[in-house]
Amino acid sequence: MLAPSFPTFLGAENSTDPASVKTPYALLGIPYGPSYEAWELSAAAGGADMVRAAAVAHAYTRFLTHWNFDIGEPQFEDGKPNVTDLGNIVGNVRDPECIVTDAAAVLGPLVKAGVVPVVIGGMDSVPPMLVAPFEGQEDINVLQIDAHIDFRDEINGRRDGFSSPMRRLRDYACVRDLVQVGARAIGSARRQEVEAALKAGNRIVTAWDVYENGAKSIAESLDLSRRWVVSLDCDGMDPSVAPGVGAIEPGGLTFMQTGALLNHLARNNRLAGIVFTEYQPARDVGDATAHVIVRLILNILGLQRNPQAVPVQR
């Protein structure tokens, strides 16, 4: 069900038993999920391992005790990452749905234990797997960073595949605020999806809004009474930052804008989990996108070293 990876992320301890995790964060690769087109099964499958490799290549794994100027202190002064690497869920191409069960078996215990999952997808079908374990456990908000709102109720007969994840999240009563940041250009959404999203109470912050008002003001507008699950589709960022995606779309969030949003939640201990989706290694330029993912995670781990220590209101 879980296959260990080598190297582990940041050289962290690894484990294939979610119940054994003692660190506040746990990293997990989910290679894919239900889909209706073949390329979705494999396009992003190797993403988690590429992210692990990039952490080695850019020397972060080697410099763990060093100062991180993004956070204003050493990354891990004792050299011990506050994350456990659970490896990757083993997929079964003849039964893509079974990955949902497997993900639940891993993420459920983590969420129950107060461990913050850091998931590397996988495509659009992965975010609901991260949200599911919170149902009945804790009300959460969701911050989606994406070029698209992904609010289709079904596409090609499937309700759990491409372009649907945010719609599926609304099937969970635990999801309260749903803030969608970075939308731009034309995607899968039609008038009915935009109206459904607004009716569901979602807040849509286009990329134009981010550039006009600044990422900081958006970050500061987020309700901090509940913790947030972040769903970061890599095409939410600008192609000059994260080229390794299926469909580039100019005008996306810069590295600094993306970091401002994530770091705000981490600093305030309001991060319940994060999932990176649609990182497609074959389309990356160098390993720029993997590099960016590593650094965003490093900042979270360093800005909030012990997230579960603070009580969350239910």
Nearest distance from C-beta of residue 179 to its own copies, angstroms: 15
Are 93 and 41 within 8 A, CB to CB? yes
Nearest distance from C-beta of residue 213 to its own copies, angstroms: 12
C-alpha to C-alpha distance for 303 and 70, rounded to whole angstroms: 9
Q: Which is nearer to its own copies, 118 or 147 (CB)?
A: 147
Strand order in 271-277's β-sheet? 2-3, 83-89, 25-29, 116-120, 271-277, 227-233, 140-145, 175-183, 203-206
Q: Which is nearer to its own copies, 85 or 249 (CB)?
A: 249
Nearest distance from C-beta of residue 14 to its own copies, angstroms: 17
Q: Which is nearer to its own copies, 139 or 160 (CB)?
A: 160
Task: Give contact residues for its own copies (rule: CB under 8 A).
Answer: 31-32, 35-39, 41-43, 45, 58-60, 63-70, 72-75, 77, 91, 93-94, 96, 149, 183-191, 193-194, 204, 206-208, 211-212, 216, 239-241, 247-248, 250-251, 254-256, 259, 282, 286, 288, 291-292, 295, 298
Map tokens 């590397």 to a residue. 120
C-alpha to C-alpha distance for 166 and 204, rounded to whole angstroms: 12
Taking the alpha carbons of 240, 243, 248, 254 in that order, is the dihedral positive or negative? Answer: negative
Nearest distance from C-beta of residue 83 to its own copies, angstroms: 15
CB burial of residue 94 (10 Å; 0-12, 13-18, 19+): exposed
Q: Which is nearer to its own copies, 103 or 204 (CB)?
A: 204
Nearest distance from C-beta of residue 109 to its own copies, angstroms: 26
Q: Which is nearer to its own copies, 172 or 255 (CB)?
A: 255
Q: Which is nearer to its own copies, 21 or 53 (CB)?
A: 53
Length of the chain: 314
Nearest alpha carbon to residue 277 among 8, 45, 37, 24: 45
Asked whether the bond before 122 is cis by omega within 30 degrees of 0, the reply is yes
Nearest distance from C-beta of residue 111 to its own copies, angstroms: 27
Neighbours of 118 (CB within 10 A): 27
